[in-house]
Structure 1
Amino acid sequence: TVCVSCRSVVLRPVIVRARRVNIMLRMKAWFEKLVQTQKVDVLAPKDEMFLAWKNGEKLKAIKLVPDVYINWWKGLYREAPEHVFVETVLIIFLIFVVFAGRRQRSKIKIAQAAKKLTEQEIDQLCDEWQPAPLVPIASVKQSEAAVRARRVITQQSGDRIQLDGSMPLLNCGGFDFLNMGSEPRIKAAAKKALEKYGCGSCGPRGFYGSIDIHEALEERFAAFMHAERAIAFSDASSCATSTIAAFAKRGDLLVIDQAISEPLKTGCVLSRANVLAYKHNDADDLLRILKAVAHDDLKKNRKPASQRRFIVTEAIFRDGADVAPLKDIIDLKQKFGYRLILDEALSFGVLGPNGKGLHEAQGIPISAIDATLIDLGPALGSVGGLCLGSVEVIEHQRLSGAGYCFSAAAPPFVSACALEALDILQSQAHLAVENNPNSTLSRLQLNAKALRHGLQTVGLIPRYFVDLYESLNDSRNDPVPFVLLTLANPSNDIPTDLTTLTEISQAAAHLGFAVAIAQNALVINNHALPSGFPQLPPKSLAIRLTTRASHDAAQIRSLCNAMRKAAQTILAVSV
């Protein structure tokens, strides 16, 4: 006796082999039936077609194809009618596509033939055609106004300059805050470097353009700022642009202040990252945006670590002359896990007991900032830019920073000037920490406060101008050494307002003071932004008044009175 399960195991192979034998026997019988045609009265069309093809009667076989296809179609309809429906629809669709395409091409040819122009019509169109202007007409008018406003320095001595051969004027428009541009020690350092290295570096840093003085510049600044590393660029603008584009890529997120300068904005555009803008110096609006991004993460089940996220801002805004709420920004970036890129271009050498910038003035360690940008021009009287950060941040840019890899390194004498200026700044910083009024930093910070107080005292604000610093930031504790004054009653026409400001600056020059016009509106408002980039508020034309450490109280008072007289003369308003 065998159990049922064992019987099935034993008999299953036998049954399978028997089935295979049965199938083979049936196929053999069919083939023999097909070969022995004399024993068959009528063959099926398919069998007859195969037999005719085998016997070499190919024409007969081809004639039997329609009968075979009809029989196959009938059999398919009996066995699976749904297949017949699907295949019929597909066949009809193919026929429609073929014939409809031919008809459409015929219509196009007929339309083209109907639209064919005669030689006379072609000549007429050519005569009437006018090329589109390369730039908008409005930009041309603005450029013409800018050319009329341009003044050229023909001679400079200390804080006195001559414009277009005029009498010596007190320079109240430049950014040489610490008088480094005319410092004899810096001139001597430049001459010594020229004799040793020659004029140019003749190559990028990574391609035989690095000179020992470039390495010394990076090491000295990193040590002075208490940063891990520093990387030097030949230009401050390319430093800002290159740093952002080196870290933020497509798919990453940049949260920017609405009033950031043009180099930072260009870096955001080149990065191709997603960009969100918060209201200028508004920490509450920044918080709102960061919360919205966090809510969107939860909604889309997206991890914050899936993209790199940065906050980009300036310490002292070039287009606002006000100071960022750095402590609030640091708190928010740490709370939401963002990185911070801070541009200290105009705050280095100006703010803080040692002139290290806004982070020192507000008691924030530089390690809390992921990338700090420095301009060597405003305070040190040199040319170039530096980025300071951790080892990873700096070394990454040596291979990924376009401004470092593909631009020629700074001329050696420029780096020598920056190093000598840093020595002077460090020696003056010790006096400033001791509250010595004779230190350069102390004088500069006192003059910055005196300038704003003097403008308010003479009634220049708000009767003639609006102080952007006051309108955008109520806190006036930070000694920013320049002021931007926009017209209190602008015409809303950029060329007209630019002409008015030019006339006021020329009137001030007749009184002995050289002031500048910040023409950011001409460049930035006409700059085409890619789709998806947030709409930023337009920049304003403004007169820029600057002070420096070499100015004294009497000169600042005279400047304020001269601006009042110039505005009163041009605007024809009596006080």
Structure 2
Amino acid sequence: FQAPLYHYIVEGLLVVWIIRLLFFKSYKIHDKVPLTTKEKDELIEDWEPEPLVPPLEETRAVSKPYRVVSGQPGKEIVVDGYKCKNFASLNFLGFVENERISKAATECVSKYGVGSCGPRGFYGSFDVHLELEKRIAKFTGTECAIIYSYGFATIASAIPSYSKRGDILYVDEACCFAIQKGVQASRSNVVYFKHNDMEDLESKLRHQEMLDKKDVKKSSVTRKFMVVEGIYMNTGEICDLPRLVDLKYKYKVRLFVEESLSFGVLGQHGRGVTEHYNIPVEKVDMMCGSMEYSLASTGGFCCGREYVIDHQRLTGLGYVFSASLPPLLACAAIEAIDIMEEE
């Protein structure tokens, strides 16, 4: 195939033009004239920085930042000096006003003082902490329990203790904020399924099973977890635990249940969603909950098999680096469990 001469000339000019566009700048940067010292001083004098925050008077004039409660937040509550009915309480069993619990906490103050002033691994473990862990394990029917000094940090510390980078977390899309922070801290691969939709969850588990068959070597070192709530804080719905347990054994996935709202509420004796569905607690790998609701105390707990829970004593950041639960609150929680067992 022979082309006419003008065709070669046009192509040659185009090649030269492309090379010019690639290697030559289309404009030249002109030399800037530096400012004199006098000009700099004038600019600095004229500059008025904007305030970082609004003036204090404007902030106060808008509204009060919060409402102030006086006295115990029981069925009735005094807010800003007004006596009101309390419809916003998480004091599910009414233990805030319980005289037995108040007496036990008062006696504990006389013996231990008001704080622990140290993490559990460094002179922060009191005998009442160990007693509370034993009582929670006995009440829930598990082998072992561990307590945290802050309820929010419990599940947020427990998830990254086990699930690491490269692992897979199957999380309900309506999960609470504490679970979201734990999932974020784990740096694992997160798969969200539709709220309380077991069909959607199984489809995602089935899809992962197909991927595992293609790469057996990778799947052998990848751990998988399902994270749900007993009662979802954002919707109030109860999780479908029987179906979750079936999926756990079918697809070989570990199951974590956050029971902050269901503990003390569901089940004949208040043991949570496992008792509600009459499912053996051994079929759940780990249960977490807060003591700030039904037990009217502070902190949280995780319970399950002993070798699983003890792992958190070195890897649960909220346990290792936080001051332990004040002994008086541990005594209050123990007394609350006593009342739950008796009544």
Quote how far apart the aligned CAs of 1:157 are: 6.8
Partner of 1:395: 310
Alignment of 1:163 with 2:79, yes or no, is: yes
Which residue identity is paired with 1:307? Answer: T
Describe the superposition over 1:530-569 as per-residue Cα deviations: whole angstroms up to 9, x where unpaired. xxxxxxxxxxxxxxxxxxxxxxxxxxxxxxxxxxxxxxxx
CA distance in 1, matches of 2:34, 2:254: 62
Alpha carbons of structure 1 residues 380 and 147: separation in structure 2 relative to 1, 3 Å: farther
Partner of 1:216: 131
**Match for 2:31 among 107, 114, 121?**
114
CA distance in 1, matches of 2:278, 2:182: 28
1:70-109 matches, within 5 Å, as: none
Can you give the 5+ residue segments of structure 1 that lack an aligned partner in the other structure? 1-102, 135-142, 429-575
Alignment of 1:190 with 2:113, yes or no, is: no
Alpha carbons of structure 1 residues 129 and 344: separation in structure 2 relative to 1, 3 Å: same
**Match for 2:161 among 246, 270, 294?**
246
CA distance in 2, matches of 1:147, 1:269: 34
Describe the superposition over 1:148-179 as per-residue Cα deviations: whole angstroms up to 9, x where unpaired. 6842212337411111001x222111010110
Alpha carbons of structure 1 residues 289 and 147: separation in structure 2 relative to 1, 3 Å: farther
Partner of 1:322: 237
Which residue identity is paired with 1:244? Answer: I
Preserved CA contact (<8 Å) 1:155 1:163: no
Alignment of 1:258 with 2:173, yes or no, is: yes
Preserved CA contact (<8 Å) 1:257 1:280: yes
CA distance in 1, matches of 2:73, 2:317: 37
Quote how far apart the aligned CAs of 1:325 are: 1.1
Which residue identity is paired with 2:257? Answer: L
**Match for 1:361 among 276, 288, 312?**
276
Alpha carbons of structure 1 residues 240 and 157: separation in structure 2 relative to 1, 3 Å: closer
Which residue identity is paired with 1:213? Answer: V
**Match for 1:154 among 67, 70, 75?**
70
CA distance in 2, matches of 1:381, 1:292: 43
**Match for 1:344 among 248, 259, 283?**
259
CA distance in 2, matches of 1:216, 1:238: 21
Quote how far apart the aligned CAs of 1:241 are: 0.8
Quote how far apart the aligned CAs of 1:116 are: 5.4
CA distance in 2, matches of 1:125, 1:275: 50
Q: TM-score, normalised by structure 1?
A: 0.51
Quote how far apart the aligned CAs of 1:193 are: 0.4
CA distance in 1, matches of 2:228, 2:45: 52
Quote how far apart the aligned CAs of 1:133 are: 7.4
Quote how far apart the aligned CAs of 1:380 are: 1.1
1:387-536 matches, within 5 Å, as: 387-428=302-343
CA distance in 2, matches of 1:296, 1:130: 57
Which residue identity is paired with 2:90? Answer: F
Alignment of 1:295 with 2:295, yes or no, is: no
CA distance in 2, matches of 1:268, 1:127: 49
CA distance in 2, matches of 1:169, 1:156: 12
Describe the superposition over 1:11-43 as per-residue Cα deviations: whole angstroms up to 9, x where unpaired. xxxxxxxxxxxxxxxxxxxxxxxxxxxxxxxxx
Preserved CA contact (<8 Å) 2:72 2:96: no
CA distance in 1, matches of 2:281, 2:45: 64
Which residue identity is paired with 2:223? Answer: R
CA distance in 2, matches of 1:362, 1:299: 37
Alpha carbons of structure 1 residues 330 and 408: separation in structure 2 relative to 1, 3 Å: same
Deviates more, 1:117-126 or 1:211-220: 117-126
Partner of 1:495: none
Alignment of 1:229 with 2:135, yes or no, is: no
CA distance in 2, matches of 1:157, 1:242: 29
Q: TM-score, normalised by structure 2?
A: 0.84
Quote how far apart the aligned CAs of 1:348 are: 0.5
Alpha carbons of structure 1 residues 391 and 127: separation in structure 2 relative to 1, 3 Å: farther
The aligned length equals 311
CA distance in 2, matches of 1:214, 1:244: 22
Preserved CA contact (<8 Å) 1:242 1:403: yes
Alpha carbons of structure 1 residues 127 and 343: separation in structure 2 relative to 1, 3 Å: farther
CA distance in 2, matches of 1:147, 1:283: 45
Q: C-alpha root-mean-square deviation of aligned residues, in Å?
A: 2.7
Alpha carbons of structure 1 residues 371 and 133: separation in structure 2 relative to 1, 3 Å: farther
Alpha carbons of structure 1 residues 300 and 187: separation in structure 2 relative to 1, 3 Å: same
Quote how far apart the aligned CAs of 1:359 are: 1.1
SS in 2 for 1:114: coil
Q: Quick one: percent identity of the two aligned structures?
A: 38
**Match for 1:174 among 72, 86, 89?**
89
Partner of 1:499: none
Partner of 2:12: none
Describe the superposition over 1:443-495 as per-residue Cα deviations: whole angstroms up to 9, x where unpaired. xxxxxxxxxxxxxxxxxxxxxxxxxxxxxxxxxxxxxxxxxxxxxxxxxxxxx
Quote how far apart the aligned CAs of 1:323 are: 1.1
Can you give the 5+ residue segments of structure 2 that lack an aligned partner in the other structure? 1-22, 54-58
Describe the superposition over 1:505-535 as per-residue Cα deviations: whole angstroms up to 9, x where unpaired. xxxxxxxxxxxxxxxxxxxxxxxxxxxxxxx
Normalized per residue, the structure richer in helix is 1
CA distance in 1, matches of 2:200, 2:45: 55
Preserved CA contact (<8 Å) 2:73 2:89: no
1:533-548 matches, within 5 Å, as: none
**Match for 1:204 among 97, 119, 123?**
119
Quote how far apart the aligned CAs of 1:118 are: 3.1
